[in-house]
Structure 1
Amino acid sequence: MNLWPDLPPPNTLLPFEATVRHASMTAAARELHVTHGAVSRQIQNLERALGVSLFERGARTLRPTPQARQLAAVVRDALDRIDAAARQASGRDADGPLTLSCEPTLLMRWLIPRLPDLTASVPEVTVHLAAGGGPVAFDRGGVDLAIRRDDFPCPAGVSRTPLFTERIGPVCRPDLAAAVGRLPRLHTRTRPGAWEDWRRAAADGVAGPDEAGDPVGQTFEHFYLTLGAAAAGVGVAIGPYALVRDDLERGQLAAPYGFRPDGTRYVLLSPRPPEQDRRVTRVLIWLRDRTAELEA
């Protein structure tokens, strides 16, 4: 007796899922290390088995139909579950290290100073840190988890777990706080809209630097350079709370106007739900415990 009479040919599912995810047979073939023709044949086999067309084919485009997207999501979930069960059965997820990618300034100013605590709190998991920003290609290997600000679309199939709200505010050297309105404004190329984000966040009437202050100031390549310049007395910068919390506690920076949510948040990205891997679960518990300080 056939227990799954409607199950399509299993060897068609990997090429199909990859093609939907990339919207490209060429990219799917590259990922699976097979030829474009092999992927095309498996897609045709799947369409014959189902009796429907799964893609709208143009001269240079390949667009999955709504039915294809729905089927691909189910296939992806099933593959994730099989992958997690295989790792558990083999014992690989009990000992292997995790590579955690984090945005560079958050990595330098918040995560690395807390790395000894992570090692002590989660001794059974080895975590390798890597600097990176923007979307993460988990399917290419090399990264298991990523901490990102959710200011870009999350790829389909990627699990997104909230960590903390992004809060921003003007920061400067403490002895210059009384004159903050007259200080040059410091900017960062990687987040050029930071001052405008602050103006929107503080639009409910909270005090802020005088508009007569230097609107141009200096521009630095990275946030950690901008914040370092603010601590050195070069001017006033917009500082995300997570990046300046330790400097505030050490008295190296002051925040005369406090911090306001800018509408974004930091999340933990992973290729599958965290609960499917006990290593990820342990790291996530630690992250939530430590990031609670950023919500206070």
Structure 2
Amino acid sequence: MRWSFLPPLNSLLPFEATVRHASMTAAAQELHVTHGAVSRQVQNLERTLGVSLFERGARSLRPTQEARQLAAVVRDALDQIDAAARQASRRAPTGPFTLSCEPTLLMRWLIPRLPDLAALVPDVTVHLSAGGGPVFFERDNIDLAIRRDDFPFPAGAHRTRLFAERIGPVCRPDLAPRLMDPGKADVTLLHSGTRTQAWDDWKRITGITGITAEPAAQQTLEHFYLTVQAASAGVGVAIAPYAVVRDDLERGQLVAPFGFVPDGTGYHLLSRRPPEQDERLRRLTSWLRSRTDELDTGHDRAHPPQDPAQK
């Protein structure tokens, strides 16, 4: 036999899933088999290799270093086999993509554009999931994720740049004159619990320091979406990304007296494999790129100019 050290192939899927979840129960749920079936396959693999692959505690299961190394190689091999099978198959991939997107961007930018996706790419269905922070494709059962690059992306994930993040103060039109006049800047500053440094970042980038407020005239809301909603209601002024307020600016519900400036971050589409390996994913990615072009251009158009007196 050519592969003299090749272990039982039917043990590799249960083993890889067990290492990834650090749980035979979770591995069994993912593979739709019993806990006992996973346990037997893992034990069979250990007997074949002559080594224990897990440190077993009363309520814990910890993969050894050897197990983690082997699982990583198994995972890479399975990815390559999957990609090759897709290329060889005559069947087009079917089923929806599960796309995770940061909640505020999902609600205020992506969802309003889904009818356009359905019209232009009718054979691609997307199931949406609100989520932020680190991406775990297997654990969260997602195919794609839209994330800002303010934290490390998963190793091996393919990334497609979508747009640069641009931020600026936004408020209801009737509050703009008070914001622009140093003698009348008595508006409430709105802060988000998820981006506590947003105002400081904007002031640092622009050098504009004239917008201040006493502690009593500042309000912190738990979620970023709530600060934008409060600004739309006339409660005060919020720092917002252009992407999430673009539609409100177009409708005239909000104005951005100082325009928007890049904050050094950007949004990316993360996928398990390159779009070139899946025609449906390629067309979905192309649609996203075409729609996010609007977020990289025109972000200073039709907004009141910056008042130099505020610097």
Q: Same fold (TM over 0.5)?
A: yes
AA paired with 2:5?
Answer: D
Q: Tell me by how many angstroms 1:265 deviates.
A: 3.6
Give the secondary-structure state (helix, strand or coil) at the position aligned to 1:203.
Answer: helix
Deviation sequence 1:154-189 (CA, Å, 0-9, x none): 56665554433333222112342232242112244x
AA paired with 1:130?
Answer: L
AA paired with 2:178?
Answer: A
Number of the residue aligned with 2:304: none
Deviation sequence 1:95-121 (CA, Å, 0-9, x none): 544343433432232123333433344
Number of the residue aligned with 1:14: 13
Give the secondary-structure state (helix, strand or coil) at the position aligned to 2:253.
Answer: coil
Number of the residue aligned with 2:292: 291
Give the secondary-structure state (helix, strand or coil) at the position aligned to 1:212.
Answer: coil
**1:29–1:97 distance in 2 versus 1, CA, 3 Å:** closer
Check the 8 A contact 1:197/1:262 in 2, yes or no: no
Residues 93-132 of structure 1: pairs in structure 2 closer than 5 A: 93=93, 95-123=94-122, 125-132=123-130
| Stretch of structure 1 that moved more, 148-157 or 232-241 | 148-157
Instruction: Extract structure 1 runs of 4+ deviating beyond 6 A.
Output: none
Structure 2 CA distance for aligned equivalents of residues 36 and 97 of structure 1: 29
Number of the residue aligned with 1:91: 91
**1:97–1:25 distance in 2 versus 1, CA, 3 Å:** closer
AA paired with 2:237?
Answer: V
**1:233–1:222 distance in 2 versus 1, CA, 3 Å:** same
Structure 2 CA distance for aligned equivalents of residues 39 and 156 of structure 1: 27
**1:16–1:201 distance in 2 versus 1, CA, 3 Å:** farther
Check the 8 A contact 1:185/1:215 in 2, yes or no: no
TM-score by length of 2: 0.76
AA paired with 1:255?
Answer: A
Structure 2 CA distance for aligned equivalents of residues 71 and 209 of structure 1: 58
Give the secondary-structure state (helix, strand or coil) at the position aligned to 1:179.
Answer: helix
TM-score by length of 1: 0.79
Q: What's the C-alpha RMSD, in Å, of the aligned pairs? A: 3.3
**1:258–1:6 distance in 2 versus 1, CA, 3 Å:** farther
AA paired with 2:284?
Answer: V
Structure 1 CA distance for aligned equivalents of residues 53 and 240 of structure 2: 48
1:199 aligns with 2:200: yes
Percent identity, please: 67
The alignment covers a number of residue pairs equal to 290
| Stretch of structure 1 that moved more, 248-257 or 219-228 | 219-228
Number of the residue aligned with 1:38: 37
| Stretch of structure 1 that moved more, 176-185 or 268-277 | 268-277
**1:161–1:35 distance in 2 versus 1, CA, 3 Å:** same
Check the 8 A contact 2:230/2:236 in 1, yes or no: yes
Deviation sequence 1:69-99 (CA, Å, 0-9, x none): 3322232233234344555626141x54434
1:183 aligns with 2:187: yes
Check the 8 A contact 2:170/2:240 in 1, yes or no: yes
Give the secondary-structure state (helix, strand or coil) at the position aligned to 1:169.
Answer: strand
Check the 8 A contact 1:100/1:127 in 2, yes or no: no
Residues 1-296 of structure 1: pairs in structure 2 closer than 5 A: 2-86=1-85, 89=89, 91-93=91-93, 95-123=94-122, 125-134=123-132, 138-139=137-138, 143-150=142-149, 159-180=158-179, 181-188=185-192, 192-204=193-205, 206-208=207-209, 210-214=211-215, 217-220=218-221, 222-262=223-263, 264-296=265-297
Check the 8 A contact 2:191/2:198 in 1, yes or no: no
Q: Gapped runs of 5+ residues in structure 2?
A: 180-184, 298-311
Give the secondary-structure state (helix, strand or coil) at the position aligned to 2:211.
Answer: coil
Q: Tell me by how many angstroms 1:136 deviates.
A: 6.3
Q: Gapped runs of 5+ residues in structure 1?
A: none
AA paired with 2:188?
Answer: P
